[in-house]
Structure 1
């Protein structure tokens, strides 16, 4: 069992307590003790203790208390709910075993309590050196800042690949059950799992698309990009073909400073050959995980990301991982991140079933506080959903 401050979800053990009322009271009592710092009577299961040592749990809770202040209200139903202080609310999920010990605990990113959409927008600008945001409803812009300016968006560019693929399926040019064969040239670095599959492993289009979106599988991405063609995907993204890197090329250039500089200095028509040559060798994971290299990324405006996502929002692979929209209703999501780059792009519907898109991009040469960005973006989503 793990405690997370952010969008990831902890695995939990499902147990049965005497009844809903008794279970809820027990869960509330444990949460009150944790949040007060008085944990003398709080016990955890052995599995939870192995995953989250006591010192780690105490440190996480101390950080949370310092950030949000005293918790004034705990709303719970079935172990899930909200912790609310004077200035923040925090999604929470707790699971107790029959003996009342903590078996699972999930704490989401603290979300600032804001009065309206304008106040939510005000909390975005300080997230990084360059920040853009966009909220649309039925195509009408409700809030925007730099939404037409391309910034680095990481894996959010994969929406362009999915858009082309979904269009081809609708047109009858291909089928979701078509099988592709994994080749060495497709093998990229994680995130994902296909990089560990053997050569010539059969993968359906549906599986590749699902992994590309829900798990941001980079090898699945390059497999689909190879099938659909760089020119076609670049046109869908509204960028120049020579600016569209495969993920393997991206990691290879980041791994090799000389190749990266050569790519940046080259004329546009010469860049594909430089990237392809760099990608002949498997990328170095440690070097590829370093800070982002300005210019070597996928640069897209939020306007384009929302234009791609909204028409595809009903595709199941977009709804498996709601990202920062967890708990806010059915949502289609794709984001992206690497050191210095963060993007969230979400499509969902308000209470009147009006389609909304909300997106945020942060670029910064330093460290981006992803927890703060998640909380601020959730506040934006919540106020957008409530906008008359």
Structure 2
């Protein structure tokens, strides 16, 4: 063990070593797990999980650290050949202190410094863009950058613009968080509100929370309808997008998905060949035909589909400017909404005084974006994009690297 706390109990020290033996595949489950854990996760199933983890991250090499919560509970970091894993462990309170809970909560890629992590992101198949920017002083050079002005599909990260405009309207007194509106138009998952009754009464706060925390598409499309295209276009411009017309109109999630369908080929071609004003008119005419019934989810989930044309686009620099706009202008309520889902393991997020997140994903598109304030009071924005028009992406690959990047940034 590279690091342990001086107050570490004898049973935690022993069981931490047992965890390493378990992760290496030693068949000691019946000895070290209590009966309840063995019933919930039988030894054969546990070994299958361990095998999957080993195939992805390499052999477990050592327990790097033990952060004891009390005499019978701790967070372990495990050094694998290709990653660093975080493991929560709980023990029985009485002797022999067998393991009653064991949970692998996440992985981050190995990299001794930010440059090495950025190089690993750059080596992923496809196109990658990244910008890590300190925000406290204007004009500071980036902490790290990789094609920061490249144009990338960002999927649900576009919902940050919707939150920014909703927040502006509330602060201006045009709306209130408690305003009740009818849910709709409905969209497809992700989310939960697509299963609620049609025209359910919901508050703007509920819609914003669903949109950001679980990327609820029906909540998002409802907010787009309520806010309107003119206001959305204005916030895209004010927040510093390099080419605001590219997000005008700001497509509803249902509309973007439907336009990708073969049944709408003619409509898609007309839409893509039009200018922003023309696209707005066409979308108004097409909307009644762009129904959920016309969606073929095999097309949406199988492989990338028109991600270079029918998407929401921004550069990493655009996203950093948007995050900084939110830092400087958004209300405490909106900043709190951004904290609900950290996107990475909670233990990594706890290294920061403030940890705001919104991501986006679909086949061929990943976008991870963070608004951060360190324990020392330093503010950062992190925008990471990965696009590949040919294949679906392995989210865990970029998530592990991004988690490592954010952890290294917290140490600065």
Give the alignment's TM-score, normalised by structure 2: 0.80
Partner of residue 245, structure 1: 251
Q: Deviation at 1:76?
A: 3.3
1:324 aligns with 2:344: yes
1:352 counterpart = 2:376: yes
More displaced, 40-49 or 95-104? 95-104
Q: Which runs of 5+ in 1 are unaligned?
A: 1-18
Partner of 1:280: 291
Q: 2:68 aligns with which of 61, 77, 83?
A: 77
CA distance in 1, matches of 2:409, 2:286: 41
Q: Secondary structure at the match of 2:311?
A: coil
SS of alignment partner, residue 176 of structure 1: coil
Q: In the alignment, what sits opposite 1:90?
A: 85
After superposition, the Cα gap between the structure-2 partners of 1:167 and 1:63, relative to the gap in structure 1 and judged at 3 Å, is same
Partner of 1:182: 183
> Aligned residue for 1:218?
217
Classify the secondary structure of the residue corresponding to 2:344: helix
Is this contact kept in 1: 2:304–2:391, CA < 8 A?
no
What CA distance in whole angstroms lies between the structure 2 residues aligned with 1:101 and 1:72?
16
User: Is residue 15 of structure 2 the alignment partner of residue 24 of structure 1?
Assistant: no
Could you tell me how far apart the structure 1 residues matched to 2:323 and 2:229 are?
Answer: 19
| 3-state SS of paired residue (1:378) | helix
- After superposition, the Cα gap between the structure-2 partners of 1:58 and 1:118, relative to the gap in structure 1 and judged at 3 Å, is closer
After superposition, give the CA deviation of every residue in 1:300-354 in whole Å (9 maximum; x if it has no partner).
Answer: 1122222222343551110011113632323000010011100000011124211
Aligned-pair CA distance for 1:192: 0.6
Matched residue, 2:201? 202
Distance 1:34 1:228, change over 3 A: same
- Per the alignment, residue 135 of structure 1 pairs with 132
Change (3 A) 1:322 1:69: same
Contact 1:310 / 1:357 at 8 angstroms: preserved in 2? yes
Instruction: Say which one has the larger Rg.
Output: 2
* Structure 2 residue matching 1:123: 3-state secondary structure: helix
Structure 2: tracts of 5 or more residues without a match: 1-6
Query: Residues 62 and 87 (structure 1 numbering): CA distance in 2 closer, same or farther, change over 3 Å?
Result: closer
From the superposition, tell whether residues 325 and 264 of structure 1 become closer, same or farther in structure 2 (CA, over 3 Å): farther
Cα 1:164–1:178 shift into 2, 3 Å: same
Deviates more, 1:19-28 or 1:29-38: 19-28
- Report the Cα distance in structure 1 between the residues aligned to 2:198 and 2:177, rounded to whole angstroms: 21
Give, in whole Å, the separation in 1 of the partners of 2:81 and 2:47: 27
Shift of 1:147: 1.6
TM-score by length of 1: 0.84
Distance across 2 between alignment mates of 1:71 and 1:263: 58
Instruction: Name the structure 2 match of 1:118.
Output: 115
Does the Cα contact within 8 Å between 1:96 and 1:104 map onto a contact in 2? no
8 A Cα contact 2:149 2:317, kept in partner: yes
Q: CA RMSD in A?
A: 2.7
User: How far apart, in 2, do the equivalents of 1:100 and 1:236 lie?
Assistant: 56
Correspondence 1:298-317 to 2 at 5 A? 298-313=312-327, 314=332, 315-317=335-337
Q: Indicate yes or no: 2:50 matched with 1:58.
A: yes
Q: Give CA deviations for 1:77-100 in whole Å, capped at 9, x if unaligned.
A: 233231135764222223455672
SS in structure 2 of the partner of residue 188 of structure 1: coil
What is the aligned partner in structure 2 of residue 7 from structure 1? none
SS in 2 for 1:94: strand
